[in-house]
Structure formats: structure tokens, C-alpha cells
């Protein structure tokens, strides 16, 4: 079984390579002028391969729908869309080089940003230099958007909004919460989230009993967790990437360390967090930028959250997460801006993007002056059993906050 699926996967990889090579060849030749070219540096191999593939799937879903409808309306004519993807191998420097190549050699009209705040920042710097609008789907740190870039637009809301609601709601629902212990990964997004949580806790009268960072590459959290346990905190808040959070939660179990509230950002937003923890995932809370139980109806290519969800499940045989939705939404927003501008002129499309105020299948999108999607009530979620249950906001609430069971 492994062998068969392996051969299939390797075959698929070879096919992808061929398609990419074909696009490369085409890029050096003459392009038909009725095609809109969008460049997408993606992490298809290396450490971020999983995340890069999530973006790729969403881009492909959007592309198929758009081209099936004849393309994007640009002024009086409809133009098909060509997506040029290159694998930047999860390497920041390579992402920068590829962005440069896409703009100068492939002559793309628009760009999408790679996964994560750090890599987005690098690509946005290149795009800004050439005046090419770049759509960021997975960057939520304000340090990426406060550089004065005019051509960068992101579909995720600022990450500060995630924890402010949590502090208010959790302390109201579980009144005994007086102390919080915070552990964050030394990285752009997780560090920002840990800092935001500290601010939100202090603003809500919660004592911060522990607040430390662990470096990238930490293979053991036992020392930090032992110290956090000794504080007797009622709320444990840990940020990091999925492997960090699986390890931290597992080691909390090893040390019989529990608290009524255990929050991990963005762990439970990803299905693999629950798969990797089994019963240990039960009760962990988090927040997300999107959940498939949202009920938006829109006039974009997907039409509604439900339609996007159904197509994704039929295609991928699993639930979409916020990365999938945000990536598709980024291209939906770009499409709307091109249609509104009625031209492929980069500066005019940029202005149309800046003036965006629409409702998409993903939710409302309206950019603030720095290019970030404006803050709104982001979903708060909890793993209950092995299901991910939205707790907030009210329209999508499917359950109530349950304290984590002690070991």
C-alpha cells in the first residue's frame, strides 16, 4: 500500500515538475496578452512543505473556478488566469530570489506571498521595489505590515485581536482564573502572540506568573513546564508551531501538569494537532482566523462558506483550515480589485485593493491603512473529544467552554 501510494505521489511530483518546467519555458517566450499572470512562490519542499501545499490547493481551487467561468473581467474583455508557481524550498533567501525572478523575467502582473510572517516580509520588500501588488494570505504579525509598504495586502486580521476576546470570555466563564503562565516560541508570529497575551492578561487583571520564550529548535519543554507547574497558574498559554505544541502538550501529560484552561496558538486550528495528540488534545482552546462552520454568503467565485467547504472536502477528503480559506480569499480579493479597476495597471489595481470593502466566502475584507484585513470577531475554538468546536462568536457557537480535565 505504501509502495503504490508512493509511486503515485512520486508520479504526481514528476507531473508537477513537468508543468512547472512548461511554465518556465512559456515564461521566456511570448505570452498571449489576454492572460493575467500571477506569481506564487510556494514552499512545496522543506520544512514548510505541508503549509505550502495548503496554499497550493486553495489557489488551484480558485484558478479552476475562475477559468471555468471564462476568466476575470478586465474592462470590456474576459482574461484567463495563469498561475506561475515555483518551489522556494522553505528557504527565505530563495523566496526572495524567486519573487525577483517572477517580476523581472516572468513578468507577472501580481504576486502572492509565501507562508508565514517572516517569508511574507521578504517577498513584500521585493514586490514593493517593483510596485507589484502582493496578496499575503498567511501573515498576521503587524511587524510585517508596519514597514510602510503600499503594495502589500493581507487577508488575516491582526493577531492581537485573537487573544483579547479570549481574556474577557474565559475569565467570565471560569471565574477562578487568577494566574496565567505563558510560554512562547522565539519567532515572529508566536512571539507576537505571547506578547499580546501578556498585555491582554494584565489588562484583564490576571497575574502573569510565568512568561518566557523558547528558541526555535527546542526538543524538550520539560524544564519550562516544570517551572510553570510550580506557579499554580489556572491558565496555561503556549504558542508555537504544530510540532512544538504537540510536544509541549505531551510533556504536560508526562509531568501531570494541568490547568482549567490550556490554550495553544494555533495548535487546534490544524487537524494534525488533534491527530498527533489523541485524547491529550481534549479541552485545548485556541483561536483561528476562520472556521468552516461560518455561514457567509457572497458573490465571489465560491458563493458561500458552505460551497467552499463542500468543494474542499470532496477534493481533499478532509476539512479545510484557515490557511486554505485565507489563501483562496486572497485571490478572490485580487480578482475583485482587478474587476473594479478594469485594467491590469498595477498602481490602479493597488488603489482598488486599498479601497476594498467586500464580503467573501471567507468573511468581510476591508483593509486598514497598513494593508491588513481589519479586525473582527475571530472564532475561538476548543477541542472537545476529537472534534473542534467553535465557542465564539455567537452565530457559529456550537458548544460551551469546558474546563480541561485534570490528569
Partner 1 sequence: MIGLQILVNGLTLGALYACLAVGFSLVWGVLNVINMLHGSLIILGGYLTWYAWLHWQVHPLAALLPVALLLFALGWVIQMTMINRLVRQPVLTTLTVTFGLDLILYNAMNVLFDATPRRITLDLGTLSLGEVVLAWDRIVAFVLALALTLLLYAVMNASRTGRAIVAVRMDRDAAELMGIRINRVYAMTFALGAGLAGACGALMAMVFPITTNISGLLLGKAFVVCVIGGLGTVPGALVGGLVLGLIESLSGHLFGPQNAVLIGYGLMLVLLMTRPTGLLGRKGYE
Task: Report the interface residues with partner 1, using CB under 8 A.
Answer: 1-2, 5-6, 9-10, 13, 45-50, 53, 183, 186, 212-215, 217-224, 226-227, 230, 241-243, 246-247, 250, 253-256, 272, 275-280, 407
At its nearest, how many Å lie between partner 1 and the CB of residue 327?
A: 17
What are the cell numbers at 386? Answer: 476529537
Strands (E) located in 225-373: 235-239, 261-265, 285-287, 357-360, 363-366
As measured in angstroms, the least distance from the Cβ of 93 to partner 1 is: 16
Smaller CB separation from partner 1, 55 or 298: 55
CA max distance for the chain: 68
Strand order, beta sheet including 72-74: 72-74, 77-87, 35-42, 110-112, 134-136, 152-154
Angle at which helices 49-68 and 305-316 cross, to 10°: 120
Q: Which is nearer to partner 1, 151 or 210 (CB)?
A: 210
User: Could you tell me the smallest distance in angstroms from the CB atom of residue 40 to partner 1?
Assistant: 19
CB of 221 to partner 1, least distance (A): 7
Q: Is the peptide bond before 117 cis (omega within 30 degrees of 0)?
A: no
**Can you state the percent helix, strand and coil of the chain, rounding each to 5?**
45, 20, 35
Length of the chain: 407
Strand 152-154 to 357-360 pairing: unpaired
As measured in angstroms, the least distance from the Cβ of 46 to partner 1 is 7
Residues 334, 300: Cα–Cα separation, whole Å:
11
Q: Is 121 exposed, middle or buried (0-12, 13-18, 19+ CB in 10 A)?
A: buried
- In whole angstroms, what separates CA 300 from the centre of its chain? 20
Q: What ranges in 204-241 are assigned the alpha helix state H?
A: 222-231
Closer Cβ to partner 1, 168 or 230, answer by number: 230
Q: Which is nearer to partner 1, 183 or 380 (by Cβ)?
A: 183
Is 209 or 333 the residue whose CB approaches partner 1 more closely?
Answer: 209
State in angstroms the smallest separation of the CB of 5 from partner 1: 8
Q: Which is nearer to partner 1, 9 or 366 (CB)?
A: 9
Pick between residue 195 and residue 396 the one whose CB is nearest to partner 1. 195
| CA–CA–CA angle 319, 322, 327 (5° rounding) | 105
Minimum CB–partner distance for residue 220 and partner 1 (Å): 5
- Shortest Cβ distance from residue 386 to partner 1 (Å)? 10
Quote the DSSP letter at residue 72.
E
Q: Give the nearer residue to partner 1 in terms of CB position, either 10 or 203.
A: 10
Amino acid at each position: 500500500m505504501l509502495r503504490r501510494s508512493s509511486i503515485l505521489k512520486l508520479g504526481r511530483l514528476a507531473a508537477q515538475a513537468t508543468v512547472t518546467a512548461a511554465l518556465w519555458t512559456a515564461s521566456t517566450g511570448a505570452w498571449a496578452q489576454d492572460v493575467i499572470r500571477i506569481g506564487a512562490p510556494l514552499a512545496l519542499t522543506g520544512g514548510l512543505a505541508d503549509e505550502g501545499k495548503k496554499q497550493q490547493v486553495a489557489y488551484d481551487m480558485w484558478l479552476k473556478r475562475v477559468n471555468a467561468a471564462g476568466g476575470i473581467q478586465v474592462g470590456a474583455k474576459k482574461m484567463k488566469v495563469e498561475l506561475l508557481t515555483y518551489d522556494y524550498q522553505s528557504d527565505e533567501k530563495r523566496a526572495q530570489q524567486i519573487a525577483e525572478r517572477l517580476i523581472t523575467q516572468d513578468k507577472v502582473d501580481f504576486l502572492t506571498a509565501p507562508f508565514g510572517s517572516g517569508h511574507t516580509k521578504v517577498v513584500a520588500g521585493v514586490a514593493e521595489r517593483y510596485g507589484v501588488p502582493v496578496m499575503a494570505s498567511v501573515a498576521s504579525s503587524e511587524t510585517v505590515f508596519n514597514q510602510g509598504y503600499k503594495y502589500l495586502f493581507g487577508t488575516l486580521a491582526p493577531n492581537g485581536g485573537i487573544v483579547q476576546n479570549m481574556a474577557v470570555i474565559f475569565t467570565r466563564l471560569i471565574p477562578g482564573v487568577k494566574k496565567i503562565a505563558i510560554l512562547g516560541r522565539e519567532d515572529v508570529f508566536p512571539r507576537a502572540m505571547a506578547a499580546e497575551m501578556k498585555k491582554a492578561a494584565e489588562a484583564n487583571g490576571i497575574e502573569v506568573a510565568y512568561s518566557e520564550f523558547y528558541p526555535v529548535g527546542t526538543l524538550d519543554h520539560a524544564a519550562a513546564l516544570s517551572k510553570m507547574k510550580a506557579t499554580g497558574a489556572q491558565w496555561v498559554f503556549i504558542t508555537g508551531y504544530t510540532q512544538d505544541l504537540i510536544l509541549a502538550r505531551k510533556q504536560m501529560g508526562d509531568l501531570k501538569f494541568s490547568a482549567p484552561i490550556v490554550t495553544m496558538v494555533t495548535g487546534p486550528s490544524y487537524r494534525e494537532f488533534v491527530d498527533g495528540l489523541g485524547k491529550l488534545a481534549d479541552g485545548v482552546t485556541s483561536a483561528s482566523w476562520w472556521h468552516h462552520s461560518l455561514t457567509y454568503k457572497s458573490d465571489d467565485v465560491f458563493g458561500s462558506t458552505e460551497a467552499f467547504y463542500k468543494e474542499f472536502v470532496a477534493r481533499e477528503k478532509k476539512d479545510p483550515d484557515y490557511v486554505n480559506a485565507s489563501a483562496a480569499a486572497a485571490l478572490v480579493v485580487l480578482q475583485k480589485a482587478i474587476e473594479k479597476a478594469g485594467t491590469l495597471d498595477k498602481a490602479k489595481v493597488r488603489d482598488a485593493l486599498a479601497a476594498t470593502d467586500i464580503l467573501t466566502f471567507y468573511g468581510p475584507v476591508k483593509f486598514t491603512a497598513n494593508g491588513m484585513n481589519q479586525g473582527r470577531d475571530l472564532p475561538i475554538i476548543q477541542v472537545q473529544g476529537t472534534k473542534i468546536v467553535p465557542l465564539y462568536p455567537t452565530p457559529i457557537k456550537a458548544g460551551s467552554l469546558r474546563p480541561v480535565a485534570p490528569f
